Structure 1
């Protein structure tokens, strides 16, 4: 296991994901623990999830606003009240300079100690975890964390707008092929499920969701050596020092 900063050393966490609901599937139990500990958490969602959902009677033009509203509701259920959207298109995310600049801007605005995002490395054992948008978001975040956000000469227009360089102390990658840190979410799993249920447009069979996730996060806990019946979310944590 890697050396991870204590939550007592963390004042603010920034979470950046590709789609609405990504953070809730991957990390909402952990986020609930952060906010319970008094840590300020900010979400930044790259796309509006326009390609998601299952209800054909809802016009595609309405999906983006619906998913934004659902994400705000889900965030509030785990104690997060600052949710930002970049408004990009679901399925078209690329780790280009435009996205890296936007993420650099958000990092300099929020000034987080810890940043949680999706892995830029594909997990071949569970392909759905490695949606191309997830990989793109993760890659753009890593490029923004190092070196752009901390480099005073990167994207000078940001400095001209008063956004000073900022160094993120550590990055937590969700959905990475390997895990070097787990968070026991047994006590916050109900909050995680409550957040997921906020995404009503995405769950055609909501009754099937909890058993499936309880089994999946139970396996993470078992692999980490936690006691029977415990649940855990796993990460690959990277120090940026």
Structure 2
């Protein structure tokens, strides 16, 4: 794994608003505290999301969820957010999506990319939303080979002046085979604050905080971090 002092820039690529906060906001908060520059790239605006309130049309929901994600990111110190505007619920790992993610990789030039696991999780359904799997797969393809290969999507170089860039490592969340755990106990309140910013998604869910705390405690226990600790889990992929 990359040592912390070699991680200067991080790109978090997610399918929907709130995905980063459920999966990686604790790790992100810790990175920001170390002075790491973190960018969020959201493939959709989450326009098909929402709780029981269906009074908003899709465009209204998209605007609301962008605002919620902006507030959530601020809670963990992230101010650079980029939205691709793909339709929620219909994402596929297309060449167009790979190009759009590769473009942002070349713009941000991250050492580390954090994204969804592209494989289905048979133990826990939520991470296996088809948009998540599509974004995870497209992001891995954008990391290797697209962003590093100047002959892949040559218009990025010729028309936009974006030189090739090699990402050194990827962290995948939501998979069944994590091999890296981040102790987020010291920033758990900031992670929760980020999640509560997604009012349209969480306000109607009874007992959510208790369930989440239990999940994150169980993750810490499985990592051997001890009781009364909280953790996020990732699978690390070396890509350099």
Please give the range of the TM-score, normalised by the shorter of the 2 chains.
Answer: over 0.9
Partner of 1:148: 146
What are the Cα deviations for residues 79-132 of structure 1, in whole angstroms up to 9, with x where unaligned? Answer: 000000000000010101000000000000000000000000110111221000
Partner of 1:188: 187
Equivalent of 1:68 in 43, 66, 69: 66
Partner of 2:38: 41
In 2: Cα distance, 1:66 partner to 1:7 partner: 35
User: Deviation at 1:5?
Assistant: 1.1
In 2: Cα distance, 1:121 partner to 1:94 partner: 14
Q: 1:126 aligned to 2:124?
A: yes
Unmatched tracts of structure 2, length 5 or more = none
Partner of 1:19: 16
Which stretch shifts more, 53-62 or 92-101? 53-62
Partner of 1:110: 108
Kindly report the root-mean-square deviation, in angstroms, between the aligned alpha carbons of the 2 structures: 0.9
* Preserved CA contact (<8 Å) 2:23 2:174: yes
In 2: Cα distance, 1:105 partner to 1:60 partner: 27
TM-score, normalised with respect to structure 1: 0.97
Unmatched tracts of structure 1, length 5 or more = none
In 2: Cα distance, 1:110 partner to 1:60 partner: 30
Runs of 4+ that moved beyond 6 A: none
Q: 1:9 aligned to 2:32?
A: no
Q: 1:96 aligned to 2:94?
A: yes
Partner of 2:200: 201
TM-score, normalised with respect to structure 2: 0.97
What are the Cα deviations for residues 194-233 of structure 1, in whole angstroms up to 9, with x where unaligned? Answer: 0000001111435622111100011110001112100000
The count of residues paired between Structure 1 and Structure 2 equals 238
